[in-house]
Copies of this chain bind each other. A is one copy, B any other.
Amino acid sequence: MRPSINVNQTERIVRALERAGYQATPNRRLVARLVAATGGHFTAADLLERGRRERVKIGRATVFRALEVLTALRVVERLELPSGSHAYVVCDPDEHHHHLVCSNCGRSEDVADGELARLVDEVGRRHGYRIETHRLELFGICPLCAAATEVTDPGGRA
């Protein structure tokens, strides 16, 4: 674990805030740091609890508000897990993409839209819809978790 990665990530988020004209207040910096420190998806409650564990006090509403602006800036996105509940993930604000999420550890990766755009177009044409937005979410087991499972369960199960 190289802390520099998260520090950079935090800075990236803070800069995004400033660029958009928001004050980079201590609270927002805190949220940025907490968000950057997550490996994978998280909820507002997660952040709140980790904040508490670090003995930093921040109001619930403030966390939600920070997530709201980060979502607007597309620094984080909200996704719906297969369970039906919501979670946030950090991601690249700069290009249209989708999410590939590990059902085991929650890690999330951005996936380029790629050929999907073509497919979406085609569906639209076929059904006569003018398509405005689409959302694709992929869930599965990431390489690390797969490797870990192999160790505890060598050879797998029938």
Query: What is A's interface to B at a CB cutoff of 8 Å?
Result: 78, 80, 82, 84, 86, 100, 102-103, 109, 111, 114-116, 119-120, 123-124, 127-143, 146
Contacts and interface: CB of A to CB of B under 8 A. Distances in A.
Contact of A138 (B114, B134, B140): B134
A126 to B, nearest CB: 9
Contacts of A127: 100, 109, 111, 142-143
A43 B115 CA distance: 33
Contacts of A100: 123-124, 127, 129, 131
Copies of this protein in the assembly total 2
A131 B140 CA distance: 4
Given A78-B84, A135-B137, A136-B136, A129 B115 contact: no
19 contacts: A78-B84, A82-B133, A100-B124, A102-B129, A109-B127, A119-B119, A123-B138, A124-B140, A127-B142, A129-B138, A129-B140, A129-B142, A129-B143, A130-B146, A131-B138, A132-B140, A133-B139, A134-B138, A135-B137
A109 B128 CA distance: 11
B114 A119 contact: yes
B111 A138 contact: no
Nearest to A114: B119
Contacts of A120: 138
